[in-house]
Amino acid sequence: MRKPIIAGNWKMHKTVQEAKDFTKALADMVANSQVEVVLCPPFTALAAVVEAAEGTNIAVGAQNVYWEEKGAFTGEISPGMLKEVGCKYVIVGHSERRQYFGETDETVNKRVKAVLNEGMVPIICVGETLDEREQGITEKVVRTQVEGALKGLDAATVAGLVIAYEPVWAIGTGKTASEEDAQGVIAYIRSVIKELAQDSADRVRIQYGGSVKPANIVGLMQQPDIDGALVGGASLEPESFGGIVKGAAGA
Ligand code: PEP
């Protein structure tokens, strides 16, 4: 049985104070939820969210990481630093990182291994662009991304990962993949994992991401292979994010 996981990616939003206020407001809404709840604030608010989330069932994740442990890498943050501050999860390979910051399948793989080395869980993002979807190469694209991200990992490790299928054309656009489309690609991703790391395919959790809201979460969660959501815009208000967690728990 895979425990559903709903993660909020705040991107470059929220001051420390706003992050604290949000976390306190959300904590009551998601108390006793059967769903795993994760908040991924900007680096500057990580410590504050960890503190505000203490004693609640909210876990904390970072939005990115560098793969080296320390050194002359100005502006970067190491896995050990994230672990020390209290992160349990790290988003790796988000399409905005791939699009604006030169992230490749190779650097995603380095980050995944570095996160795992510190005992944290990577949330690995994959997904096709609109152009790739229109060319009919969605499966080829996500296969390449999944194979690249998981390179060198054993089956037991793969079982503990979280993968987020996020079609790029659905991120922040208000366009959600249909439940059937999302289910189809996510089932395909699971089949790729079965080829790579047999036993782990039934255990690895795969989220959908792309304009998820309280209004569409239930239908998505009713799909057999969808184990949760990575949420951007709708994770910025406690009411909408809490509504998504509630919908996922009830689906
Ligand atoms: C995201 O950035 O991971 C995302 C899914 O954003 P949104 O929910 O706003 O589409």
170: nearest Cα among 162, 178, 159: 178
What is the dihedral sign for C-alpha 128, 225, 191, 136? negative
pLDDT at 198: 82
pTM of the model: 0.97
- Are residues 170 and 211 in contact, defined by beta-carbon separation less than 8 angstroms? yes
Using DSSP's 3-state secondary structure scheme, residue 119 falls into: coil
pLDDT at 199: 84
Sketch out the chain's domains with CATH numbers: 5-250 (3.20.20.70)
pLDDT at 176: 85
- Counted residue by residue, the chain has a size of 251
Residue 71 C-alpha to ligand 1 middle, in angstroms? 32
Instruction: Give the span between the Cα atoms of 113 and 68, in whole angstroms.
Output: 11
Using DSSP's 3-state secondary structure scheme, residue 163 falls into: strand
Our answer on whether the CB atom of 244 is closer than 6 Å to any ligand 1 atom is no
pLDDT at 77: 98
Candidate list 84, 103, 166, 180, residue with the active-site label: 166
pLDDT in tens, the chain (251 residues): 899 999 999 999 999 999 999 999 999 999 989 999 999 999 999 999 999 999 999 999 999 999 999 999 999 999 999 999 999 999 999 999 999 999 999 999 999 999 999 999 999 999 999 999 999 999 999 999 999 999 999 999 999 999 999 999 999 888 888 999 999 999 999 999 999 988 899 999 999 999 999 999 999 999 999 999 999 999 999 999 999 999 999 97
Catalytic site includes residue 94: yes
112: nearest Cα among 82, 120, 234, 189: 120
Instruction: Give the span between the Cα atoms of 65 and 90, in whole angstroms.
Output: 7
Top mutation candidate among 12, 207, 212 for ligand 1, by most atoms within 8 Å of CB: 212
pLDDT at 251: 79
208-240: b (≥16 Cβ within 10 Å) or e: bbbbbbbebbebbbebebbbbbbbbbbbbebeb
pLDDT at 136: 96
pLDDT at 174: 86
Pairing mode of beta strands 58-62, 205-209: unpaired
**DSSP secondary structure letters along 121-160:** EEEEEE---HHHHHTT-HHHHHHHHHHHHHTT--HHHHHT
Instruction: Give the span between the Cα atoms of 185 and 128, in whole angstroms.
Output: 10
117: nearest Cα among 146, 92, 144: 92
Residue 83 C-alpha to ligand 1 middle, in angstroms? 24
